[in-house]
Amino acid sequence: MRLAMFTHSVQENGLGRAFCLWLLARELNWDVEIVAPQSGDPWLPLGEEQAFLSTFVSDPVGAAERSDLLLALKPWPGSFDLALKAGRAAGRPVTLDVDDPDWESVYGWNHARVLEGFIRRSLRGDFPVQAYRLRWQASRNVPVLVSNPSLQRWYPGANVIPHVRRLRPAGDIHSRTSRIEVAFVGSVRPHKGVELLREAVEDAGDMRLTITDDPPSSARPNENWTGITSLAVGLELVNHADIVAIPSLPWIYGYQLPVKLIDAMLAGRAIVASDLPPIRWALGGTGVLVQPGDVDSLTGALQKLRDPAERTRLGLMARARALSVFTVASVAPAFAAVLSSVL
């Protein structure tokens, strides 16, 4: 198989999804080119993945002509429209991958919200006709992959191909009974619940919190702000943590599957996470779920995991599930079957 993937940006975290799909294609010994804008530095966590970055090209039609199949990442201008145009020119089939509901978060997720979003953005001078047209085509004319079953709410019948990671050893043995290390690996955004996590760690007592973003003026003595890190450094932080926390809030991005959850599972960490549909599905009963946005629930869950035996039990279960569901080797056959069926 010769595969061309189209991404609208190299600087945003959507590049992480391209990396996952590239890992799958490489496992299958497929030839891959990634059509991407040739401006700006790549998203920092993947800045050291030279084999991946070396596949980037800037000629959509040329990549299409060299490929058997085109795969657009996100139903956005700059990726999906280029893939459709290049596919028509080269006579190649096109499919679409959707890794989170960011279209719905911008434009709405039912008819009333779509109309409201269209009017609101048009009044701002941002005329979204092209984006609406692409989303309409995505739902009717093109085979779709999604990163988790919850996204089938908007893309009925789509095939689920989850985020994947390379196989790697488990992290540290769970032995600490004091100065418990809690990690949040990722950038700080309003929907991620980091402020609630900071409060919960403070309330839990005798815990330290590491966050991979720049420190705010309100940074506490028990917090370690590392700045944005590479993928390799982020994985090391996860490996050494006692608890990984994913306190996502319950809005439209609650239908996103955070790949950092898979990193934590594969490392055998004890995980505290919000009870949201993709997270519940991914954990499969191997972590502690809490009411989204409830700081008391989050604090209680952190305190429960002071016990190293409980952390070990959950960590072993989480790693076993990750090995069967989220590694490159476990997902590659399904990826091959889905794209071969498009051909």
Token pair belonging to 286: 């191997």
pLDDT at residue 208 above 80? yes
Give the integer Cα–Cα distance in Å for 97 and 15: 12
Decide if 261 contacts 246 (C-beta within 8 A).
yes
pTM beyond 0.85: yes
Mean pLDDT, rounded, for 121-134: 65
Tell me whether residue 161 is exposed, middle or buried, using C-beta atoms within 10 angstroms of its C-beta: 0 to 12, 13 to 18, 19 or more. Answer: buried
Task: Supply φ then ψ for residue 217, to 5 degrees.
Answer: -65, -20
Residue count (the chain)? 343
CATH class of 2-164+328-342: alpha beta
pLDDT in tens, 50-93: 999 999 999 999 999 999 999 999 988 889 999 999 999 999 99
**Terminal C-alpha separation, the chain:** 10
Q: What are the extents of the domains in the chain? A: 2-164+328-342, 180-325
Average pLDDT, the chain: 91
Q: Confirm whether 2-164+328-342 and 180-325 share one CATH topology.
A: yes
CB neighbour list of residue 196: distance below 8 Å, 6 or more residues apart:
247, 249, 293, 295, 298
Contact present, 204 and 178 (Cβ < 8 Å): no
Answer whether CATH 3.30.830.10 is correct for domain 180-325: no
163 or 105, which is more confident?
163
Higher pLDDT, 111 or 233: 233
Q: Which two tokens stand for residue 75?
A: 């139903």
